[in-house]
């Protein structure tokens, strides 16, 4: 088997690779030959009054490709007064997230990978597929709400599916939005202008994407939304119901294949994902309750529906479209990890690792 770190993956995978891999995998999903297990979290008191330990995991399998992938992450989570999550492992600035890739042909462990670059690439690839199938063909101006890693991944992915000529960006932190504008303008060779308010970023844009770690609503005023726009989110809580109701066509990336009942119980909804919690009542009370989205995205068509039936896509340049870019996490990781593994073997990239520590002669 091989080990691929973030540097290896950044050298192997491009946004184009990930969009193509994810699109191919969605066609396999449409045939009923792929699945995704929803993300589940386990919360444990960590011995400090300002945080909690959280373990998260999810899996996916793509039968024709012969791969099964599990993604795991180990975090200490703390919360800022501004309402955002802060994560670290061991110490601030370090993180523990990785994938294991297995063969479904003989069960062999094929690869271990860091998840940082893959995580950003697969989310951006999903958003780009939403743009490909829902945005106007002439969409060229992007309004970006957020200036972090996901916002940095979204723009190059959008450029793979549309001719982007201008970008506007808003972040609540002046230094962050200015740094983003400078960096992305230099990287992409297009003008990127920072703004100190969200409204002018939304108005006049063809594509509007929210890429924030906010635990509360980001876009609440439906009057900002104009005919012909395509909207995309990162979290189900970023857009208000009033804003989503302005849209003529709403599409979700896809629900998990274990059934629509997953993640519906009260305790699961309060903390974001399907969650199991340990701790006394005062411990658990420290965890901020996630505001439950009042938008039932499960009732809307999925990306698979659009692939099967082109009539479900945009039919008019005046339509306002919305792509809910959250779901099928394990399946998406399987798609991009399988692509990374294939490219690594083809190009001889990665550190060879013995499978001996992963195999034994005692039946488990």
Please, which residues bridge with residue 75 across strands? 54
Task: Label the pairing between strands 34-44 and 230-232.
Answer: unpaired
**Could you say which of 3.40.50.720, 3.40.50.970, 3.40.50.300, 3.90.1150.10 is the CATH number of the domain covering 135-255+293-327?**
3.40.50.720
All structural domains of the chain with their residue ranges: 135-255+293-327
* Residue-wise pLDDT tens digits, 284-333: 888 877 666 667 788 899 999 999 999 999 999 999 999 999 888 999 99
Distance between CA 314 and CA 322 in Å, rounded? 10
Nearest-CA neighbor of 342 among 23, 67, 99, 26?
67
Distance CA 360, CA 264 (A): 39
Q: What are the pLDDT digits (tens) for 46-78?
A: 998 889 999 999 999 999 999 999 999 999 999
pLDDT tier for residue 32 given thresholds of 50, 70 and 90: very high
With vertex at residue 216, the alpha carbon angle to CA 214 and CA 220, rounded to the nearest 5 degrees, is 115
Residue for token pair 């989205």: 293
Beta carbons of 318 and 227 less than 8 angstroms apart: yes
Q: How confident is the model at residue 266, as a pLDDT?
A: 43
The two three-digit tokens of residue 156, written as one number: 């190059």
pLDDT in tens, 276-287: 899 998 888 888
pTM summary value: 0.91
Residue 14 and residue 18: Cα distance in Å, rounded?
A: 7
Helix axis angle, 15-30 relative to 116-134, nearest 10°? 70
* pLDDT for 131: 98
What pLDDT, on the 0 to 100 scale, is given for residue 183? 97
């Amino acid at each position: 088997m091989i080990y691929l770190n973030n540097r290896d993956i950044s050298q192997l995978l491009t946004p184009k690779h990930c969009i193509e891999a994810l699109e191919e995998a969605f066609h396999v999903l449409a045939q009923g030959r792929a699945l995704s297990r929803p993300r589940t979290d386990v919360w444990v008191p960590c011995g400090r009054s300002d945080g909690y330990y959280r373990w998260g995991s999810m899996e996916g399998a793509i039968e024709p490709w012969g791969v099964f992938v599990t993604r795991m992450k180990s975090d200490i989570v703390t919360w800022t007064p501004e309402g955002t999550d802060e994560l670290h492992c061991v110490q601030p600035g370090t993180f523990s997230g990785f994938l294991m890739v297995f063969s479904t042909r003989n069960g062999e462990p094929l690869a271990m990978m860091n998840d940082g670059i893959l995580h950003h690439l697969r989310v951006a690839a999903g958003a780009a597929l939403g743009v490909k199938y829902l945005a106007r063909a002439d969409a060229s101006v992007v309004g970006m709400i957020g200036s972090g890693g996901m916002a940095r991944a979204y723009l190059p992915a959008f450029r793979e599916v549309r001719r982007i000529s201008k970008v506007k960006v808003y972040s609540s932190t002046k230094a962050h939005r200015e740094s983003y504008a400078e960096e992305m303008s230099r990287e992409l060779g297009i003008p990127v202008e920072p703004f100190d308010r969200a409204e002018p970023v939304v108005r006049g844009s063809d594509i509007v994407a929210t890429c924030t770690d906010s635990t509360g609503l980001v876009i609440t005023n439906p009057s900002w939304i104009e005919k012909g726009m395509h909207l995309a989110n990162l979290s189900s809580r970023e857009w208000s119901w009033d804003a989503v109701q302005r849209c003529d066509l709403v599409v979700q990336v896809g629900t998990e294949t274990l059934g629509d009942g997953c993640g519906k119980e009260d305790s699961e909804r309060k903390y974001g994902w399907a969650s199991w919690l340990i701790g006394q009542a005062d411990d658990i009370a420290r965890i901020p309750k996630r505001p439950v989205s009042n938008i039932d995205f499960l009732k809307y068509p999925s990306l698979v529906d659009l692939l099967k039936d082109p009539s479900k896509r945009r039919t008019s340049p005046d339509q306002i479209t919305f792509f809910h870019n959250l779901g099928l996490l394990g399946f998406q990781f399987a798609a991009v990890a399988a692509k990374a593994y294939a490219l690594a073997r083809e190009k001889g990239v990665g550190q060879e690792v013995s499978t001996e520590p992963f195999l034994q002669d005692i039946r488990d």
